[in-house]
Structure 1
Amino acid sequence: MLDTKSNSRSQEVTEYIANFPIEVQKVLEELRTTIQNAAPEAEELISYKMPAYKYYGILVYFAAYKNHIGFYATPTGHKEFERDLAPYKQGKGSVQFPLNQPMPWPIITKIVQFRAKENLENFQNKG
């Protein structure tokens, strides 16, 4: 049976992406695919007006801006990959990937996988 709630949420992400210039859309679609491949069980939704991925809690969010992609893996995802993310502008729980540079797909994959494992372990430890 098709999960219509999940389907409409994916549609919301598709609509979010469609609001940007085609070159940015391509990056956002590749980011979306990278996250989905790294955490295939994750639910896609819009949260805080951004695409978000949830698996036993939020994994990551992303948002497009004029000159960069904001990537939000909560403080733990950023802290764990501090060295990998060092070349990028950061805030608490956020990193900016400039649109005029190649996206660090392997780092993004590792962060999403780390967050999925972390969320699952936290869930299991609560039980």
Structure 2
Amino acid sequence: MAKPALQIAAYLAALPDDQHAALETLRALVQATVPQAEEHFGYAMPSFKYRGRPLVYIGAAKKHCALYGMIPAAFAERLQGYSISKGSVRFTPDKPLPEKWVKDLLLHKRDEIERRWPAVRK
């Protein structure tokens, strides 16, 4: 099986330029915000895991891009003008997700993983 980075590169290369750029920007933001997150490729899209637990997935469809992963209600309320469900938020390359919102969501999800699954000390 190909390494996740190669699968992600192939996935992104197949997208239209604007979606490719939007998801590369989001990918870089995830890597910068939670540098310990590991890239994976699952459910036919790029994903990130933290301590082996799903953090977020990113993907694109014909008319939008999306950030997948449980979106807490408090975060959904802070984001107006986007299509939001319990499991995803859709955006377009010309209207990307606010960087602060994404960072806050990532840090919240990281902290939740740490709280629910504490690291085992040796």
TM-score range, shorter chain: 0.7 to 0.9
Instruction: Name structure 2 gaps, 5 residues minimum.
Output: none
Q: Structure 1 residues 59-68 or 77-86, which shifts more?
A: 77-86
Deviations 1:80-104 (A, max 9, x none): 3122223211222111112332431
- Matched AA of 2:97: M
Which residue of the partner structure matches residue 65 of structure 1?
61
Distance 2:74 2:57 in 1: 17
> Which of 11, 22, 25 lines up with 2:20 in the alignment?
25
Identity of aligned residues (%): 29
- Matched AA of 2:61: Y
Which residue of the partner structure matches residue 8 of structure 1?
3
Give the TM-score normalised by structure 2: 0.86
Which residue of the partner structure matches residue 106 of structure 2?
112
Q: Structure 1 residues 57-66 or 91-100, which shifts more?
A: 91-100
Shift >4 Å, 4+ stretches: none
Q: Secondary structure at the match of 2:36?
A: coil
Distance 2:113 2:96 in 1: 28
Equivalent residues, number: 120
Q: Secondary structure at the match of 1:85?
A: coil
Which residue of the partner structure matches residue 95 of structure 1?
89
Matched, 1:38 2:33: yes
- Matched AA of 2:54: I
Structure number having the greater helix percentage: 1
- Matched AA of 2:10: E
Give the TM-score normalised by structure 1: 0.83
Distance 1:112 1:102 in 2: 16
Q: Give the CA RMSD over aligned residues.
A: 2.2
Instruction: Confirm or deny: 8 A CA contact 2:22 2:96 kept in the other structure.
Output: no
Distance 2:36 2:88 in 1: 23
Give the superposition deviation at 1:29. 0.7
